[in-house]
Amino acid sequence: MFWKSILFVLVCGVAAVAQTATEAARLDTLRAEGYEALYNLDYETARRHFQKMIELAPDHPAGPQCMAASMWVQQLNESWELKSTLYSDKAYKNEKAKVDPRQVEEFRRWTRRAKQLSEARLKRNDRDVEALYFLGAAEGLEAAFSAGVERKYMSALRTGSSAVGHHRKVLELSPQFYDAELTIGLQNYVIGSLPLPAKMLASTIGVRGSKKRGLKELEHVAREGRMGRDVARVLLIDLYKREKRWDDSIATARDLSQRYPRNYLFKLQMADAMALKIAAARKANKPVDAAEEREVFAIFESLLRDKTLATQTRVIEFRRNETLRLLK
């Protein structure tokens, strides 16, 4: 009877481990499929996958965190001001971002849920790497929202600093959890880019940074990350432009546009980086690649002919006209 009991416990234990592994694999598949749709601008399909994650594992923070991320990405893509800042820091500079209060509340609801579930797991085990990661990821989303939409920069710094703290702990416990470098690298770059007075203000709450180190960390995630690889690449398109690394920006945007062909934003980013490269070459009296210049306008014409992008015509025409002015 004793050995039967031992055998029963072992069998149940193996079954539980197998079930946990199967659930983790299914969650990972749903997450990947959801982000595939999200980066192709198919928000409804993305959220259906993320909702399935929540139904499959209601106590896991991954589903709510992915749901919040989908709302932030959609807001970034659809907001007139936020979208324009991806391409031109002068466009619509004086317009105030218009955000649906219901979307704001839903975003807040999902980030709260992701944090609550993460914190509940950490109460049971303060070395739970997954819980630490998703807690930091939810805080990172809140920081981006505070800075980009609400213009609450000090609040964003504090929340971002908390996210970085949690992700540093992730790397202490699991050095190969490279996705945790995403928030760390982004904060390093952002703080390292600030003018001296702003850096001093950030240092009063213990936040410091380095542009060079931040770029290296983001590039490491873009190469080695699992969940954050494409997020890092999206960020690097603009950061490379800021650093006048035109070819790196073009290559990154081209790669993403090929992987996510229904996302016209990556094609606009590629055209923008090409145009900036050409303008810089002309200013420095260097030769310009005529084929690259033709490709810039071929991208715009192709997008304008695409009937599925009829509702995006205004932003595409705006970017084309800005490019014409730049290259004149």
Q: What pLDDT digit, counting tens, does each position of 64-98 carry?
A: 999 999 998 888 787 644 444 443 434 434 445 56
Distance between CA 77 and CA 29 in Å, rounded? 25
The DSSP code for 308 is G
What span, in angstroms and rounded, lies between the C-alpha atoms of 46 and 43?
5
Answer whether 95's CB lies under 8 Å from 80's CB: yes
Measured CA to CA, the distance from residue 101 to residue 115 in angstroms comes to 21
200 vs 270: CA distance, rounded Å: 35
pLDDT tens sequence across 127-148? 999 999 999 999 999 988 887 7
Q: Distance (Å, rounded) from C-alpha 1 to C-alpha 269?
A: 69
Distance of alpha carbon 260 from alpha carbon 233, whole angstroms: 13
Confidence at residue 154, expressed as pLDDT on a 0 to 100 scale: 74
Could you tell me the two tokens for 160?
A: 């971002």
Give the integer Cα–Cα distance in Å for 255 and 253: 5
**Residue 156 CB contacts under 8 Å (≥ 6 apart), including other chains:** 143, 144, 146, 147
Which segments in the chain show pLDDT lower than 70?
Answer: 1-21, 79-99, 197-207
Long-range contacts of 4-7 (CB under 8 A, 24+ apart): none
Q: What residue ranges do the domains of the chain occupy? A: 29-151, 251-328
The per-residue pLDDT for 114 is 97
Entry pTM? 0.85
Q: Residue 193 and residue 119: Cα distance in Å, rounded?
A: 32
